[in-house]
Amino acid sequence: AQKVTQAQTEISVVEKEDVTLDCVYETRDTTYYLFWYKQPPSGELVFLIRRNSFDEQNEISGRYSWNFQKSTSSFNFTITASQVVDSAVYFCALSERNAGNNRKLIWGLGTSLAVNP
């Protein structure tokens, strides 16, 4: 069965600290996609990144970086020099094999990040 585990329920950091959000997944598929979404207090889920199972390159986008390791079934997300505006709930999600449909994302429970001034 497919499953996404975000073991950290809540994280609180002080501004400018680096923070890593963990995501561990389970799937029997050899082809799958992983996602991170951000949900700020306004409620709207904002897409951050999609990674397919054949691309293990790490990615950096500004202060955000993602570390995908198939050997440990992990897709961790690091925010460098965190800012108050980063405060949100972050969700990791896994799609079924037929990512073309992307209709059944399996979601983790989310990690609530609070960045304090």
Which one of 55-63, 69-77, 80-88, 96-104 is the stretch in contact with other proteins (CB under 8 A)?
Answer: 96-104
Nearer to other proteins, 61 or 71 (CB): 61
* Three-class secondary structure of residue 45 per DSSP: coil
Pairing of strands 64-69, 33-39: unpaired
List the one residue from 28, 85, 101, 117 that touches other proteins (CB under 8 A). Answer: 101
Please measure the distance between the N-terminal and C-terminal CA atoms of the chain and give it in whole angstroms. 41
Q: Kindly report the number of other CB atoms within 10 A of residue 100's CB atom.
A: 8
CB of 27 to other proteins, least distance (A): 16
Q: What is the DSSP letter of 86?
A: G
Nearer to other proteins, 43 or 117 (CB): 43
Partners of residue 26 on adjacent β-strands: 3
Binding site for other proteins (CB under 8 A): 4, 33, 35, 37, 42-47, 50, 91, 93, 99-105, 107-110
